[in-house]
Structure 1
């Protein structure tokens, strides 16, 4: 029974290995097919930068961009960018919009009301993924929102050799699986097959990441407002409330009388607690006075 179970386990592992190898090879083939299709695409003119839409025959590029610019309103620009990304078939992976408070002052306008004045500057750090074929279009849309461009960098990494290498690795893994299947069944064979399956999974994951990075470009965006903005917030005048209830003579006098009464009680209780000491002290004092009064009488009798 045990021998049959071991044989079934080995057979299952081999089938998984062969399937995984074929799957890894298919992913590499898909990657090559995507590369061929993308290379044959027509060149699109781009007033932003040729790097954004660069197409070279038999070459593949992973494109990234970094944009730092000033806008009129950070919140409105953020909404517009997110909408543009969605319309182009992309998605937002990170957005950190915040307002940095520079100063905060409160001015009383009446006994009941006050005005909180905040001076602040808004900014947002974003990361978006847009289809590589539409990277130039997206950068053009962003260019319409800027007041001033601090910096912009576009990077196109040539990964053609990496794609070819992924294809060769898929073939090697498949060949290794076929060689392992011809070995005699033992513990070493199971170990080798397991390692081959693991390697195939890693290669498949790398192919998927490569395909994703080819299909979608990553754009890091930093936007801020050039000037300090002011927010006026109506609040309650807390100082007048504090002055109103700061001191009450009648209540304070009543509290002082009650506290004095409790103090007398605590003193009496304290004296009762130390009654043995008071009794001993009284006895010592009595004996001392008695002895002192006896000495003058003895001097008179002499």
Structure 2
């Protein structure tokens, strides 16, 4: 067991050494590339070098997330959307909201009133811009800020994933050639269908990676730091309600008509239950007739 532990320690040390060498080579390549592209980096110094980073023999999928406060959310939204289009990108999501904090109505005359709304504007956006122009867009967005809450820029290295996808494509193609040499039967049809499905999924994944390499996704959240006030002229509804709230003549007339209809309903109800009334009258008649002979008999005995 001790020997196994020593072997594992040696293997770990070797792997760390290899990783350090590769990391040093990548760093050297990066420094060489950035020195050649110093002009491009200088443009985005105020934003981040990650947005314009280039490394030899490496491919990155770049994304960014910006959260900031602006003077006017609506104006900033229009400006950002216009800039994205000018850079060759497009907007995939824009959700502008005005969250009402309070809402009060103040009567200014018998006919007029003022509706006062206190609100705060915000917008959640998602845009896609050519990766080569990501730094320019972030610089434009940065110029709109009053206060930057947070900003993150990510560069995901997908070089190995792309190479693996190429190998998978060759494997799928080879599998298809092998299947085509089999005799036609149910198993061959099933294998061919599965291989085609796998090939389609691989092509779709390749298309997604290619698209994400070409266009960077930027999530933007902007809001206004202070509450705004909107004054809206409206009609004084309270005076209108008071004007038509109660009319004695009309109410008395309506009450008289409703009473008349109530009497009609009662009469109709009594007519409806006439069989019950008839049966009740017959029962009372027979009970009285039965009691009468008993009273006469009692009187005779006395």
Does the alignment reach a TM-score above 0.5?
yes
Normalised by the size of structure 2, how large is the TM-score?
0.76
The 5 Å alignment of 1:15-94 reads 42=37, 44-45=40-41, 46-47=44-45, 48-94=47-93
The 5 Å alignment of 1:111-122 reads 111-122=110-121
The 5 Å alignment of 1:163-202 reads 163-202=162-201
1:276 aligns with 2:266: no
Find the aligned partners of 2:197 and 2:250 in 1 and give their Cα distance: 81
Question: What secondary structure sits across from 1:183 in the alignment?
Answer: coil
Question: What secondary structure sits across from 2:58 in the alignment?
Answer: coil
Partner of 1:21: none
Normalised by the size of structure 1, how large is the TM-score?
0.76
Q: Using the TM superposition, name which of 195-204 and 55-64 deviates more.
A: 195-204
1:249-292 per-position Cα deviation (integer Å, ceiling 9, x unaligned): 1111222222333344444455555553785698699989x99x
1:97 aligns with 2:99: no
Find the aligned partners of 1:125 and 1:114 in 2 and give their Cα distance: 34
Partner of 1:230: 229
Structure 1 spans left out of the alignment, 5+ residues: 1-38
Partner of 1:152: 151
- Give the drift of 1:231: 1.0
Question: What secondary structure sits across from 1:177 in the alignment?
Answer: helix
Find the aligned partners of 2:268 and 2:201 in 1 and give their Cα distance: 83
Question: What secondary structure sits across from 1:59 in the alignment?
Answer: coil
Question: What secondary structure sits across from 2:109 in the alignment?
Answer: coil
1:219-269 per-position Cα deviation (integer Å, ceiling 9, x unaligned): 111111111111111111111111111111111122222233334444445
Q: 1:281 to 1:177 in 2, by over 3 A?
A: closer
Find the aligned partners of 1:184 and 1:285 in 2 and give their Cα distance: 104
Question: What secondary structure sits across from 1:227 in the alignment?
Answer: coil
Question: What secondary structure sits across from 2:54 in the alignment?
Answer: coil
Find the aligned partners of 1:42 and 1:210 in 2 and give their Cα distance: 25
Partner of 1:16: none
Q: Using the TM superposition, name which of 176-185 and 159-168 deviates more.
A: 176-185
Find the aligned partners of 2:179 and 2:269 in 1 and give their Cα distance: 95
Q: Which has the higher contact order (CA 8 A, sep 6+)?
A: 1
Partner of 1:31: none
Find the aligned partners of 2:279 and 2:173 in 1 and give their Cα distance: 101
Find the aligned partners of 1:145 and 1:97 in 2 and give their Cα distance: 16
Q: Using the TM superposition, name which of 120-129 and 196-205 deviates more.
A: 196-205
Find the aligned partners of 1:93 and 1:54 in 2 and give their Cα distance: 25
After superposing on structure 2, the runs of 4+ consecutive aligned residues of structure 1 that deviate more than 6 Å are 284-288
Find the aligned partners of 2:264 and 2:110 in 1 and give their Cα distance: 44
Partner of 1:205: 204
